[in-house]
Amino acid sequence: MALQIYKKGQGFYTRVGTAAGVGILTAMGCWALSNTLSGYEYPTPDVKTSVQYGVPALVLIILGSVIYWILNRPNVADFMIATEGEMKKVSWSTKKEIIASTKVVIFVVVLMGLLLSGVDLIFMWFFKWINVLQV
């Protein structure tokens, strides 16, 4: 039985990106599992090696198959194809607009920080003045 890809060629980047992201998470989980399994005591070094690397490899193979199966289901694949189509319709901001927006955000954050610091100092002075704070 050959592996068939549902609607091959459509939604390629979305499918590959999703598969890569989930694959990286799965590989990181298998690496953590391998590290966890290395902390246990085993009867022989051969058993330790087999368990420490064999179990995560088996989990990786099984989860890889499940990921392929899920991403190749018609309803999931159609969703990803539609998502990629919608993303192509988006009007993305230019680099100049992003830089200008970032400058505005940084300015507002600094201004709010200064304002809140000033209000905090005023309250601190007030509470010292009415003898609520004893510093």
Segment 13-32, tens digit of pLDDT: 888 899 999 999 999 999 99
Range of the domain at 131: 92-135
Count how many domains the chain has.
2
Residues 70, 98 within the same domain: no
pLDDT, tens digit, 9 for 90 and up, residues 78-97: 998 998 899 889 998 999 99
Residues 79, 13 within the same domain: yes
Q: Are 15 and 71 in contact (CB under 8 A)?
A: yes
Residues 32, 96 within the same domain: no
For the chain, the residue count is 135
Residues 70, 118 within the same domain: no
